[in-house]
């Protein structure tokens, strides 16, 4: 291990960690809604992001559309993509044991991953936009502009989803259906439709993530494997369905990755991230922010 790194390295690591954390928070908002709030299991969430990334990639690379304008396409597309997948696969077995849902969505993830492999090959794809070179210097620390935009996007998206859940009738219907589906039905809420809406929205946020990430990230058929696991880690850390917690959880994991990478050699930092996750699951399953329930 290498402990004699300079202050500059550390401050850069922290800055990058915050940027990465914003990214992790952004991709995890959807899962917070789907799994955290609605308790729907979707192990293909990472592959949904992969779909969003590819869509954004093609719009930018082939359609020559500005990445931030692709949002107009990626978000609605992912909304209906999510609804389609939900209707065809998850919804019929929503009442089956949890394990069946896990297996089914793992199957979906295998399908999406390998379809992408067949159609787009295993090559790493990325786009070159004028944004890529925009950097902001704060003392010795360098921050890339697209990453900063993604961080802002993550904050805004978190607030938007929070506002939606808190203040609109549809948002409250989603929370009510999750907390007590029977009572929700008895209050005149069409619960199956509410599930569909929640899943669609959770998927749509990944369209947004795809568009915001593509200027500085890459895409590849297996890009969702690691990022999908990160989403689950962030949601658990954030405390299942807590949107603010999700943001904090994203930052924690982002910092763990970059600071870890400065300390541990090679990709061992990943092990550090996983360890944080397992320790949290065992000792503080209610997440970073929530108080322990008695």
Partner 1 sequence: MLSVKNIVVKYGMFRALDDVSIDVGEGQIVGIVGANGAGKSTMINAVSGMTKPTSGTVMFEDTDLTKMSAHAIVRAGVVQVPEGRRLFPDMTVYENLLVGSAHKRAKAERSENFDKVFTLFPRLKERETQVARTLSGGEQQMIAVARALMSSPRILLMDEPSLGLAPIVIQEIFMVVRQLRDLGLTILLVEQNVHHCLQISDYAYVLETGQVVLEGTGHDVLENPMTKAAYLGMAVQEEPASN
Partner 2 sequence: MSLKMPYIRILVVGALICLLPLVLDTFYMHIAVLVLIWAFLACAWNIIGGYAGQHSLGNGLYMGIGAYTVAYLVNRFALTPWVGLLVAIALSAAAAAFIGWIVFRYALKGAYFALVTIALTEAAVYVVSNIPALGGAGGMQMEYRGNSLAYMQFAGQSGYFYMGVLMVVFILLLTQWYKSKRFFYQLIAVRENEDAAEALGVDTVKAKIKANVMSGVLCAVGGVFYAQYFLYVGPRSVFGEVVSVQILIYAIVGGLGTTWGPVVGAVLLVPLSEIARGQLGNSLPGSQLLLSGVVMVLTMLFMPFGIIGAVARLRQRWQHRSATPLVDSQGGEAS
Residues in contact with partner 1 by CB under 8 A are: 169, 172-173, 175-176, 179-180, 182-191
How many residues comprise the chain? 294
Which of partner 1, partner 2, none interacts with 248 (beta carbon under 5 to 8 A by kind)? none
- Could you say which of 69, 72, 84, 96 contacts partner 2 (CB under 8 A)? 96
Task: Assess contact for 11 and 262: CB atoms under 8 A.
Answer: no
- Could you say which of 69, 142, 187, 268 contacts partner 2 (CB under 8 A)? 268
State whether residue 63 is helix, strand or coil.
Answer: coil
Between 45 and 203, CB nearer to partner 2: 45
Could you say whether residue 247 binds partner 2 (CB under 8 A)? no
Given the rule CB under 8 A, which of 100-108, 157-165, 169-177, 249-257 is the region that contacts partner 2? 100-108
Pairwise CA distance, residues 112 & 18, whole Å: 30
Which of partner 2, partner 1, none interacts with 190 (beta carbon under 5 to 8 A by kind)? partner 1
Binding pattern for the stretch 211-230 against partner 2, x by CB under 8 A and - elsewhere: ----------x---x---x-
Q: Which two tokens stand for residue 283?
A: 């000792």
- Could you say which of 63, 76, 92, 140 contacts partner 2 (CB under 8 A)? 92
Between 65 and 276, CB nearer to partner 2: 276
Instruction: Kindly compute the dihedral angle of the four CA atoms of residues 60, 64, 67, 70, in this order, to the nearest 10 degrees.
Output: -90
Task: Assess contact for 197 and 79: CB atoms under 8 A.
Answer: no
Could you say whether residue 1 binds partner 2 (CB under 8 A)? no
Between 109 and 211, CB nearer to partner 2: 109
* Nearest Cα to Cα of residue 237 among 247, 228, 227, 226: 247
Pairwise CA distance, residues 218 & 120, whole Å: 13
Pairwise CA distance, residues 24 & 288, whole Å: 16
Task: Assess contact for 91 and 195: CB atoms under 8 A.
Answer: yes
Which of partner 2, partner 1, none interacts with 180 (beta carbon under 5 to 8 A by kind)? partner 1
């Amino acid at each position: 291990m290498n402990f004699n790194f300079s202050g500059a390295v550390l401050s850069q690591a922290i800055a990058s960690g915050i940027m990465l954390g914003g990214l992790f928070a952004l991709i995890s908002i959807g899962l917070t809604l789907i799994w955290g709030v609605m308790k729907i299991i979707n192990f293909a969430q990472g592959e949904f992001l992969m779909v969003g990334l590819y869509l954004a990639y093609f719009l930018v690379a082939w359609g020559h559309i500005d990445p931030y304008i692709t949002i107009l396409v990626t978000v609605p597309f992912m909304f209906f993509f999510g609804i389609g997948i939900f209707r065809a696969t998850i919804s019929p077995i929503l009442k089956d044991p949890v394990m069946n849902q896990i297996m089914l969505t793992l199957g979906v993830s295998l399908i999406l991953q390998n379809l992408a492999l067949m159609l787009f090959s295993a090559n790493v794809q990325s786009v070159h936009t004028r944004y890529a070179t925009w950097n902001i210097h704060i003392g010795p620390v360098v921050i890339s502009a697209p990453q900063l935009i993604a961080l802002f996007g993550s904050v805004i998206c978190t607030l938007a989803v929070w506002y939606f859940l808190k203040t609109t009738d549809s948002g409250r219907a989603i929370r009510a259906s999750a907390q007590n589906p029977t009572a929700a039905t008895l209050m005149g809420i069409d619960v199956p439709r509410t599930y569909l809406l929640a899943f669609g929205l959770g998927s749509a946020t990944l369209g947004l993530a795809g568009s915001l990430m593509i200027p500085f990230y890459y895409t590849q058929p297996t890009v969702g494997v690691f990022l999908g696991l990160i989403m689950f880690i962030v949601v658990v850390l954030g405390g299942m369905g807590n949107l603010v917690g999700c943001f904090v959880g994203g930052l924690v994991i982002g910092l763990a990755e970059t600071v870890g990478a400065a300390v541990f050699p090679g990709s061992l930092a990943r092990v550090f991230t996983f360890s944080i996750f397992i320790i949290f699951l065992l000792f503080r399953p209610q997440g970073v922010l929530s108080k322990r329930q008695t």
